[in-house]
Amino acid sequence: MKEKVVLAYSGGLDTTAIIPWLKETFDYEVICCCIDCGQGEELDGLQERAALSGASKLYIENIIDEFCDDYIVPCVQANAIYENKYLLGTSMARPGIAKKLVEIARKENAVAICHGATGKGNDQIRFELGIMALAPDIKIIAPWRMTDVWTMQSREDEIDYCKAHGIDLPFDVASSYSRDRNLWHISHEGLELEDPCVEPNYDHLLVLGVSPENAPDEGEYVTMTFEQGVPKSVNGQEMKVSEIITKLNELGGKHGIGIIDIVENRVVGMKSRGVYETPGGTILMEAHQQLEELVLDRATSEVKKDMANKLSQIVYEGKWFTPLREAVQAFIEKTQETVTGEVKFKLYKGNIIKAGTTSPYSLYSESLASFTTGDLYDHHDADGFINLFGLPLKVRAMKKAELDKNNNK
């Protein structure tokens, strides 16, 4: 009986070419596994394509709700944003995919897991760190790094290889954007985006929505509720998280929300330029932060910002299955105990405009914040506070003046 390998399968040209290559190079039985994180119509026709390519079996595993509840929600609660822009759409999905690949490998008694990530990208790290953490005994195969036996260097090479093995599928020889899509976002790389001085061709590029210029001239009000940092409803309708993100994607895409153009620092040390569409995620992050402003005290907010940066780095680098991620997430979850309430905002041509926030745990006191004198705040108390708060500055200035005077004698 042949040994089995589980292939992380998308149905694209790369992973299609890998199927006969694995059989030819290692004499493996190839089990394809496609993890559904909300790719939509990209999953159409995969069963036939995998069989035609030589796979003995195809699993299509729907983890959309798990992706939302176990990976997206903790990052939203943390306000985890990599390099102040990237909402971690690809990064958050990878640990869930790795976990499911390991589950299928165990079920099939496979000796190896194979992925089609390139040797220049972040995904190879994310997949492999996840697999290592969950199944250190399973072999990992990364064809694009095996240049002694993987000789294909272009789409043309892969198409020719497939045809030579009796796989004649309607792949386009012409180059196109390299994209990754799930329920949270879609990323775009390649073509004109490879030159940072060139403006993106948004009319050709966008998939989930429109540019702000093409958004409606009328704004649209949206109301959301949260319970302990978890989104619960949109416009009065209670829904599970995946349904909320789907609804917000529709609203955000319509109004040109969540389009970013970024040159980011990859884990492997190079810079890469990409455009991300995250319409619903951008709204959800902003609404959550809008509520936190009202309910978190200053000291907690300051430390939480540090933890948000730390979590974004952990997730970006593929270190989800680590004690550090668990510890940071535990801190974040503690801060969410009072993040309950309602937020209202207006979507207008790429902008999310505040329109009111309420919470039973609000720390805002109108009597304290107003210009009138209230019972809790005596203006005279500020004298002593400023004297003590500014004491280090005053002492330093006095010592410096004394030193200058001595030096000038």
Asked if 95 contacts 71 with a C-beta cutoff of 8 angstroms, the reply is yes
- Residues 342-381 as b or e (16 or more Cβ within 10 Å = b): bbbbebbbbebeeeebebeeeeeeeeeeeeeeeeeeeeee
pLDDT for res 370: 65
Whether 376 has a pLDDT exceeding 90, the answer reads no
pLDDT higher at 91 or 169: 91
**Catalytic pick from 94, 126, 181, 273?**
94
CATH number of 179-296+339-358: 3.90.1260.10
Give the C-alpha separation, 222 to 355, whole Å.
9
Establish whether 172 is a catalytic residue: no
Establish whether 70 is a catalytic residue: no
| Structure confidence by residue, pLDDT tens digits, 342-355 | 999 999 999 999 99
> Taking the domains of the chain in order of start, what are their residue ranges?
4-71+88-174, 179-296+339-358
**Catalytic pick from 123, 181, 273, 312?**
123
Q: What is the pTM of this model?
A: 0.94
For 21-24, the CB contacts below 8 A with 24+ separation are 21/143, 21/150, 21/161, 22/114, 22/141, 23/54, 24/165
CATH number of 4-71+88-174: 3.40.50.620
**Catalytic pick from 56, 69, 160, 178?**
178
| Domains 4-71+88-174 and 179-296+339-358 agree in fold | no
Establish whether 126 is a catalytic residue: no
Residue 26 CB neighbour total at 10 angstroms: 18
Whether 174 has a pLDDT exceeding 70, the answer reads no
Across the chain, mean pLDDT equals 95
Q: 89-103, 146-160, 379-393: which has the highest mean pLDDT?
A: 89-103
Q: How confident is the model at residue 321 (pLDDT cuts 50, 70, 90)?
A: very high
Percent of the chain's residues with pLDDT above 70? 97
Q: How confident is the model at residue 176 (pLDDT cuts 50, 70, 90)?
A: confident
pLDDT for res 171: 76
| Structure confidence by residue, pLDDT tens digits, 266-298 | 999 999 999 999 999 999 999 999 999 999 999
pLDDT for res 311: 98
Scan for tokens 């948004």, then name that residue. 202
**Catalytic pick from 14, 53, 181, 312?**
14
Establish whether 94 is a catalytic residue: yes
